[in-house]
Amino acid sequence: MQKIAMVDLLGQYNKIKSEVDKAVMDVIASSAYINGPEVKAFQSELETYLGCKHVIPCANGTDALQIAMMALKLEPGDEVITADFTYAATAEVIGLLRLTPVLVDVLPDTFTIDPVALEKAITPKTKAIVPVHLFGQCAQMEKIMEIATKHRLYVIEDTAQAIGSDYHFSDGSSRKAGTIGTIGCTSFFPSKNLGCYGDGGAIFTNDDELATRIRMVANHGQSVQYYHDEIGVNSRLDSIQAAILRIKLRHLNEYAEARNRAAAYYDKAFSGHPAVSIPAREKSSTHVFHQYTLVLHGKNRNEMKEFMASKGVPAMIYYPVPLHMQKAYTDPRYKKGDFPVTEQLCANVISLPMHTELSEEQLTYIVACAMEFLNS
C-alpha cells in the first residue's frame, strides 16, 4: 500500500502532470509572469464557476481578508465579529488593521459561527461579520445575512476552506460559498481544495464599485499607474500559479466528489461509535470536506494521534487552542470558559487524512487503525 499522507499533492499532480508542465513552461516562455493573460483567464473562469461578477486574484488568503477590510474602509476601533474556532489568519488581519476583533462561539455540531451568539455580540461599533466556512461547509448564511441586513453590517465570508460549496436558501435559490456576503475571500494555499503550487488567494464581490476599490487597494492604492489615491498593499497572484489554477479549477467538482466519497467511507465506519461524533452536515450547505474532523468522547485525541502515527497514519489537530486563549490574542475582555463549545472542540477534535487520492485500501487501513484505538 502507498504511504498515507494527510494531503497527497504529488499523487494529484501526477494525474494532471502533462497539462500542468506544459502550462508552466508556456508561461515561462511567454515571459508574462505578472498580471499576464493566464491571470485574466483564471479570473474570468472562476467568475463563471462561482456565478460571481468580480474575482480579484491576490497573493494569499490572509491578504484577501486584509484587502477586503481595507476596501470597506473599516477604521481603527470598528468592531468585527468572527468565530473563536478558526485559523488565526481570520482574526490576525482584524488586529493588524487596529480594528477590534469580537469573538463568538461556534455551533457544537457544524463548528461554524453561532448566529444567536453573533447577534448578541453586536454593539453600535460593529461594522462587519466574518463568518468562516470551516472545514468545507458554509456557516448558516441565511440567518447571518438576515442579521447583517437588520443591523446594516458588512459580511466578509472567509471561504478559504470551502471553495465550491453550495449554500441553499429557503426560497430555493443557491449560491456558491463566498458569493453571498458583501465580499468573499479565499486561499489557494497548496493543500486547499483549489490549491496552487505556491501561495495564492482571491477576493469575490458582486458590487462593481467595491471591485474597483479592491483592485486599487491590492495594487498599491493606485487606480492610474503612479497615481496613488490611498495607501494600499502589493498583492498579486502570479501567472504560473494562475495557469496551474486554471487546470485545477476544471477538476474542482470532481475533487469535491472524491473527498465526499472518502468522507462517506469514514462516516459509515464511525457512525454510532460511542467514542466519536462524525462531522455533522449543515442542512443548507453542501460539504466539500477540506477536513474530515472527528470529536472524541472519553478518549484522548493526542493519544489517538500518537497511536495513528505509530501505525503510519498521519492525523492533525485543527485547532488545538481557541483564539481567545492564544498568546497573541489575549484580551482582558476574554477568559477561559467564555466560549465553551470552542474550548471543548479544541480539546477533543482530530482530523483524519482527507484528500482526492485516498484509495479504498488506504481508507480501510486508516479506519482499522482508528478503530483499534477507539475500541481499546
Ligand X SMILES: Cc1ncc(COP(=O)(O)O)c(C=O)c1O
Interface with ligand X includes 189 (CB under 6 A)? yes
Interface with ligand X includes 293 (CB under 6 A)? no
Distance CA 79, CA 72 (A): 13
Q: How far does CA 154 lie from the centroid of its chain? A: 19
Asked if residues 357 and 262 have their Cβ atoms less than 8 Å apart, the reply is: no
Q: How far does CA 4 lie from the centroid of its chain? A: 23
What are the E-state strand segments in the chain?
54-58, 79-83, 100-104, 126-130, 154-158, 166-168, 174-176, 183-187, 201-205, 222-224, 227-228, 276-277, 292-296, 349-352
> Closest separation between CB of residue 134 and ligand X, Å?
7
Q: Which C-beta is closer to ligand X: that of 62 or that of 100?
A: 62
Q: Which C-beta is closer to ligand X: that of 60 or that of 286?
A: 60
Q: What mask of x and - would describe binding to ligand X in positions 71 to 90, judged by CB under 6 A?
A: ---------------xx-xx
Q: Which C-beta is closer to ligand X: that of 187 or that of 277?
A: 187
> Closest separation between CB of residue 199 and ligand X, Å?
6
Interface with ligand X includes 160 (CB under 6 A)? yes
Find, among 313, 307, 309, 305, the residue nearest to 348 by Cα: 305
Q: Which stretch binds ligand X (CB under 6 A): 56-64, 169-177, 252-260, 354-362?
A: 56-64
Cβ-proximal residue to ligand X, closest one: 61
Binds ligand X by CB under 6 A, chosen from 132, 196, 218, 275: 132
Binds ligand X by CB under 6 A, chosen from 8, 27, 55, 61: 61
Interface with ligand X includes 113 (CB under 6 A)? no
Distance CA 296, CA 276 (A): 4
Helices of type H across 72-202:
89-96, 115-120, 141-151
Q: Which C-beta is closer to ligand X: that of 61 or that of 184?
A: 61
Interface with ligand X includes 322 (CB under 6 A)? no
| Burial label, 161 (beta-carbon count in 10 A; 0-12, 13-18, 19+) | buried
Q: Which C-beta is closer to ligand X: that of 61 or that of 353?
A: 61
Residues in the site for ligand X, rule: CB under 6 A? 60-62, 86-87, 89-90, 132, 158, 160-161, 187, 189, 199, 201
